[in-house]
Amino acid sequence: MTPMPLPGQPHVHFADGALHVEGVRVADLAQQHGTPLFVYSKASMLAALAAYQRGFAGRNAQICYAMKANSSLAVLQVFAQAGCGFDIVSGGELERVLAAGGTPARIIFSGVGKTRAEMQRALQAGIGCFNVESEAELEVLNAVALAGGHVAPVSIRVNPNVDPKTHPYISTGLKGNKFGVAHEDALRSYQRAASLAGLRVVGIDCHIGSQITEETPYLDAMDRVLDLVAQIEAAGIPLKHIDFGGGLGIDYQGDTPPAADALWHKLLAKLDARGYGQRQLMIEPGRSLVGNAGLCVTEVLYLKPGEHKSFCIVDAAMNDLPRPAMYQAFHQIVPLSPRDGATASYDVVGPVCESGDWIGRERALAVQAGDLLAVLSAGAYCMSMASNYNTRGRPAEVLVDGAQARLIRRREDAQDQMRGELLLD
Ligand SMILES: *Cc1c(COP(=O)(O)O)cnc(C)c1O
């Protein structure tokens, strides 16, 4: 029996007919902690980070992990200890970074809807930069900073209007997206920012989308942003750093995104050619640092054969793994201990009361009730998007490091979920 090759996941493999993450047998973790269970490889996260670090060797560059991809505290610790900064999008994420020991000066705060309270807290914590997404936000941030006796470091997120050729819900740099300031308004926004006493202009940023698997959109966006840098600096507003955002894709299903180091080799050549190679650089990768470092283990509860379709009903659902329901996303699904024998085609679905609750469609599997399956490439935008829909507790999480496995989040129980709710008299 030859198991399917596992896409892009060097730290997940079969040994003696059993799936392992690094040196740990995944079935042992499921037995100890129950299912559904997220299992992450620390070596995989560090290897993904190392590809960026190689790409930026000898450069003045800061990698800010876009933590919305996976915001579990222990995952943040891994990246904080490796020297990363963080790209945050809410006050809650700020508290997580601080709890995980991240350095406030290496935090950048993105997002179109920052509240005054979030701004205040971030100023008080001393974050490195606000990535401002509209002129209205500039005015509010200025007022909040002045009222608190601060000067807010700002970058303006510009919208380079390039098509990242990805799913429309995760494309963010086109006209008609809610993100950033339009290319043609950028100079005016910078002039306004520079005139406000509560703001200090420190940089410029862009982020064009997610799960990008081609290099052309990045090269085009870089050209468009550098055009703006030239324009803004010619108007007398110096920019200390340039932030090119995140968005690099991963291999879910034979996808072939460029490697981070190879991509940056090309991008840095362009940057050098245009004379900006010595500038401080920032990037905000999320998915590409954690996506293929994680899987979700789930147990087959029932097989439900049918005339037109057969269902494999598992104990993980759209509340644990929202990407298929939200974006029709594909995750490879493999048995932890592949069986010999004929496969049948199943839709792999969860127990949630929605027809949208599916995890994989038309998958050839040789399975029986009680078998354990791994949903692969589940390190990014799974646990961080998990909900309690159907009053399902969110899964436990384990971080593997070599032959060691450590529980990093307890499974949520019903009491956890009802905490904070108030009964009527
Ligand atoms: C989500 C996001 C990122 C990270 O995107 P990935 O596709 O996970 O790399 C970076 N920057 C901003 C502003 C984001 O919203």
Check which CATH number belongs to the domain holding 367 and give it: 2.40.37.10
My answer on whether 170 and 129 are in the same domain is: yes
Domain boundary among 285, 319, 346: 285
Q: What is the pLDDT along the chain (425 residues), one digit of tens a residue?
A: 444 557 678 899 999 999 999 999 999 999 999 999 999 999 999 999 999 999 999 999 999 999 999 999 999 999 999 999 999 999 999 999 999 999 999 999 999 999 999 999 999 999 999 999 999 999 999 999 999 999 999 999 999 888 777 766 666 766 777 889 999 999 999 999 999 999 999 999 999 999 999 999 999 999 999 999 999 999 999 999 999 999 999 999 999 999 999 999 999 999 999 999 999 999 999 999 999 999 999 999 999 999 999 999 999 999 999 999 999 999 999 999 999 999 999 999 999 999 899 999 999 999 999 999 999 999 999 999 999 999 999 999 999 999 999 999 999 999 999 999 999 99
* CA 79/CA 85 separation, integer angstroms: 8
Q: Is the CB of 36 under 6 A from ligand 1?
A: no
Domain boundary among 235, 258, 285: 285
My answer on whether 369 and 246 are in the same domain is: no
* CA 203/CA 192 separation, integer angstroms: 14
Cite the beta strand spans of 216-293 per DSSP E: 241-243, 280-283
In a domain, 231, yes or no: yes
- Is 206 catalytic? The answer is no
Q: Is the CB of 68 under 6 A from ligand 1?
A: yes
**DSSP calls for 43-58:** HHHHHHHHHHHHHTTT
In a domain, 341, yes or no: yes
In a domain, 328, yes or no: yes
* CA 12/CA 104 separation, integer angstroms: 33
My answer on whether 271 and 308 are in the same domain is: no
My answer on whether 230 and 299 are in the same domain is: no
Looking at ligand 1, which atom is closest to the CA of residue 211?
Answer: 7
In a domain, 216, yes or no: yes
Q: Is the CB of 69 under 6 A from ligand 1?
A: yes
Looking at ligand 1, which atom is closest to the CA of residue 170?
Answer: 7
Domain boundary among 217, 250, 285: 285
In a domain, 105, yes or no: no
- Choosing from 64, 207, 264, 377 the residue with most ligand 1 atoms within 8 A of its CB, the one to mutate for a pocket test is 207
DSSP 420: T
How far is ligand 1, taken at its centre, from the CA of residue 205, in Å? 12
Contact (Cβ atoms closer than 8 angstroms) between residue 44 and residue 292: yes
**Nearest C-alpha neighbor of 395 from the set 289, 291, 295:** 295
The CATH number covering residue 145 comes to 3.20.20.10
My answer on whether 161 and 216 are in the same domain is: yes
In a domain, 307, yes or no: yes
Counting Cα atoms < 13 Å in the Cβ hemisphere of 331 gives 32
- Choosing from 110, 167, 264 the residue with most ligand 1 atoms within 8 A of its CB, the one to mutate for a pocket test is 110
My answer on whether 281 and 303 are in the same domain is: no
My answer on whether 239 and 363 are in the same domain is: no
Sign of the CA dihedral running 50, 56, 62, 66: negative
Q: Is the CB of 320 under 6 A from ligand 1?
A: no
* CA 264/CA 392 separation, integer angstroms: 42
How far is ligand 1, taken at its centre, from the CA of residue 87, in Å? 8
My answer on whether 348 and 371 are in the same domain is: yes
Q: Is the CB of 110 under 6 A from ligand 1?
A: yes
CB atoms within 10 A of CB 149: 8
Q: Is the CB of 291 under 6 A from ligand 1?
A: no
Report residue 30: phi and psi, to 5°. -65, -40
Cite the beta strand spans of 245-326 per DSSP E: 280-283, 294-304, 311-314
My answer on whether 333 and 269 are in the same domain is: no
- Choosing from 67, 68, 165 the residue with most ligand 1 atoms within 8 A of its CB, the one to mutate for a pocket test is 68
Token pair recorded at residue 92: 């809650």
CB atoms within 10 A of CB 170: 18
Q: Which SS3 state, helix, strand or coil, does residue 182 take? A: strand
In a domain, 89, yes or no: no
In a domain, 72, yes or no: no
My answer on whether 338 and 379 are in the same domain is: yes
Give the global pTM: 0.96
My answer on whether 397 and 335 are in the same domain is: yes
Looking at ligand 1, which atom is closest to the CA of residue 69?
Answer: 8
* CA 37/CA 62 separation, integer angstroms: 32
Helices (runs of H) and strands (runs of E) counted in the chain: 12, 21
The domain in which residue 131 lies consists of 110-285
Residue tagged active-site, from 64, 84, 353, 382: 353
My answer on whether 153 and 12 are in the same domain is: no
Count the domains in the chain.
2
